[in-house]
Structure 1
């Protein structure tokens, strides 16, 4: 690892002092980049992951082009399920689609367990390559049990998750078995990424905001506690992400996780009111990336001002970058966050005004 390694992101995750606010973007590798589009002319989405040199290049691109403070492994949350023999395809404009949605515990019983070193050696090789290539931390990731279950039960993306929640209500024993299976798989997958060199891991629970606080506490939190408790035994920092899940933040705050994500529906005042004590990341509305530059900068500055005196803040989007965003917009935003916060940290203001 480079002696010039930039660990500002890791320090912010641990709520330690940082010289400026670190920034990275959800889905910071993708179709908005010309280089990525060129690579996709030769490799399908899943094929990229199977070629470590190519996957490492795609993962590095945002660091090299945008100047962000962390890289996130390029992969898909379906990768471990596909490696277990489940038939899933990424349909352009739709998302992951399963040919046989599960309807009972019997549909899960025949799944083979995941052995990351045997089933996903190319992912671990990519992590190992990036560990030596990057001068910023690498975030490994996996899908969280509820979100994976939602795709498995719905057969693909959903607007309401009625089938998923109906399964949870009508088949509580099968649901518990499914959560046990997916949490064990997710944990093994993340531990393998950490062992290969990932300094942080993020759980994407993108659609868990569809459930109530009571249902989360009863039917989902036990699995998340198991995962984060075991990850806590490693040196990696942990992050938890969902969208539209502000009502679950008090439950998340009880989990042994380092960083909580929040989106534009939740404000800094909401975090204070809810007594959220962990480090946080968010929450710029990604739609602002298409707004006039002066408005984007003003909204980013307002957000940064709200967190300038709070330890443990990482600038990010409330959801992911989408294809219409211009690369130069993201680069300018990352530069602005770095410059503005390095000049406006409390200690910098004291120095500038001659205070001791």
Structure 2
């Protein structure tokens, strides 16, 4: 005769945290630690990449040590291609070799690849240690450093392996945006435009009217302080309002994948020649044009999306070196695929997302219809 015992583990978890937006926030980070933000932490591991290391990683390391904290710096080669299980394992081995344990904190300093990888490491090391995100790029400020989604890429798919692990605090350093290459800054604007497309038509109009105050018609950053501050704050608000309602992406949070079904596939198939935001920009165009076919938005609204992306210096066409077949095949590795069918999330006009009859925000699309659109986009 079998016996059973029910394990009851119901609990209420408060994963709330603060996001601080400003310039040169190292002093604020140090003050937070001195005032007991992480009272049970005795060692700090700064995780950064090879580009950010001399600019922000080493200066923070020196400041932490001068302030009496025990800290070390761990760096990996910059770029999305380093965001792998192998890199994570190397970092874990380095932490273990320096006697890091469950009383440590991970400080992720950098852009989206750094916060994704370091957040995943923090979520699994010691079965979970606290993480602070110090975002130095617009992309990280707009998306990767907020919301608790972490992960790595594999040859098969991007971001399919990871955990939800909320940071204890996020610092968004607007001064760091001045150190970004123009192409990296433009890449970050794609996630900002995505947020406007999915949640805030007023913000979309603001970007249409003010894009020239942060980037020139030749694609060079201008970075008007007021516009940058408004963008950073609005990005955080929009993402927070979604994550608050659906922390673990059971339904609503899927809308943050707007443009990512095709975008992530493009990024991977390009061998990461396309930056994340560049790929997402093309993905936004694909969903908008497909949305017009399905009646979810007008051709004029889709044209506005394409026009804003173009003004931001972002690509809106599929590169010639990527075939439609290769792009289609890679879309089948998207996290939203169910029962072997590709699913998209769609704008409902501008500033809203389409919710379907079953309550879901994603819907299956027919491969033939997507392939037909891809042919049309190439002018075939």
Max Rg structure: 2
TM, length-normalised to structure 1: 0.28
| Greater relative contact order (Cα < 8 A, sep 6+) | 1
